[in-house]
Structure 1
Amino acid sequence: MHLVNYRVADGVAVGVRTAGAVVDLAAALRHAGMDDAPASGMRTLLAGGPDVLAGAADAAAGAARDGVGVVVDPVLAAPLLDPPRIFAIGRNYAEHAKEGGAEVGEYPMIFFKPSTCIVGDGEPVQIPPTTEKVDWEAELAVVIGTGGKYIAETDALRHVAAYTVSNDVTARDWQRRTSQFDAGKMFDTFLPMGPALVTADEIPDPQALAISTTVNGRTMQDGSTADMVFTVAALVSYVSHGVRLLPGDVILSGTPAGVGYARPTPIFLHPGDEMTVTIEGIGALTNPVVAER
Structure 2
Amino acid sequence: MLGVAVYVEGRLWRMRRPGNPGKRSLRAAGQVWMLCQLQIPLLVGLKPSWKKLGSRCVSHLSGAMRLVQFHPKESAAEPRIGLEEKDGGDVVDLNAFDPSLPSNMRAFLEGGDAALAVAKRAQVSAQHVLPRSKVTLLAPVTNPDKVICVGMNYVDHCLEQNVKIPKEPIIFSKFSSSIVGPYDNIIHPAESEESDAMSHVAGFTVAHDVSARDWQMQKNGKQWLLGKTFDTFCPLGPALVTKDSISDPHNLGIRCRVNGELVQNSSTSQLIFKTEALVAWVSKFVTLYPGDVFLTGTPPGVGVFQKPPIFLKRGDEVQCEIDELGTIRNKVA
Cα displacement (A) at 1:204: 4.2
Question: What is the match of residue 178 of structure 1?
Answer: 221
Question: What is the match of residue 149 of structure 1?
Answer: 15
Residue of structure 2 aligned with 1:270, choices 300, 313, 320: 313
Question: What is the match of residue 160 of structure 1?
Answer: 201
Gaps of 5+ in 1: 1-136
**3-state SS in 2 of match to 1:261:** helix
Q: Does residue 231 of the first structure (1) align with residue 95 of the second (2)? A: no
Distance 1:148 1:202 in 2: 25
RMSD of aligned residue pairs (Cα, Å) = 1.2
- What letter matches 2:193 in structure 1? A
Distance 1:191 1:166 in 2: 7
Residue pairs, 1:205-224, within 5 angstroms: 205-224=248-267
Q: Deviations over 1:9-58 (max 9, x none)?
A: xxxxxxxxxxxxxxxxxxxxxxxxxxxxxxxxxxxxxxxxxxxxxxxxxx
Distance 1:175 1:223 in 2: 24
Q: Does residue 248 of the first structure (1) align with residue 291 of the second (2)? A: yes
Distance 2:249 2:284 in 1: 21
Distance 2:251 2:231 in 1: 31
Distance 1:204 1:145 in 2: 20
Distance 1:242 1:141 in 2: 19
More strand by share: 1
- What letter matches 1:173 in structure 2? D
Question: What is the match of residue 138 of structure 2?
Answer: none
Q: Deviations over 1:231-287 (max 9, x none)?
A: 111001111111121111111101111100000111111111100000010000001
Q: Does residue 283 of the first structure (1) align with residue 149 of the second (2)? A: no
Residue pairs, 1:190-205, within 5 angstroms: 190-205=233-248
Distance 1:259 1:178 in 2: 22
Distance 1:201 1:233 in 2: 15
Q: Is the 8 A contact 1:214 1:220 kept in 2?
A: yes
Residue pairs, 1:18-167, within 5 angstroms: 137-146=1-10, 147-150=13-16, 152-167=193-208
Q: Is the 8 A contact 1:149 1:243 kept in 2?
A: no
Equivalences, count: 154
Distance 2:222 2:288 in 1: 26
Runs of 4+ in 1 over 3 A off after TM superposition: none
More helix by share: 1
Question: What is the match of residue 12 of structure 1?
Answer: none
Q: Is the 8 A contact 2:215 2:222 kept in 1?
A: no
**3-state SS in 2 of match to 1:189:** coil
Question: What is the match of residue 79 of structure 2?
Answer: none
**3-state SS in 2 of match to 1:153:** coil
- What letter matches 1:206 in structure 2? P
Q: Does residue 260 of the first structure (1) align with residue 126 of the second (2)? A: no
Question: What is the match of residue 31 of structure 2?
Answer: none
Higher RCO (C-alpha 8 Å, min separation 6): 2
**3-state SS in 2 of match to 1:191:** coil
Distance 1:252 1:189 in 2: 15
Q: Is the 8 A contact 2:9 2:202 kept in 1?
A: yes
**3-state SS in 2 of match to 1:238:** helix
Gaps of 5+ in 2: 17-191
- What letter matches 1:156 in structure 2? A
Distance 1:220 1:273 in 2: 13
Question: What is the match of residue 127 of structure 1?
Answer: none
Distance 2:246 2:280 in 1: 18
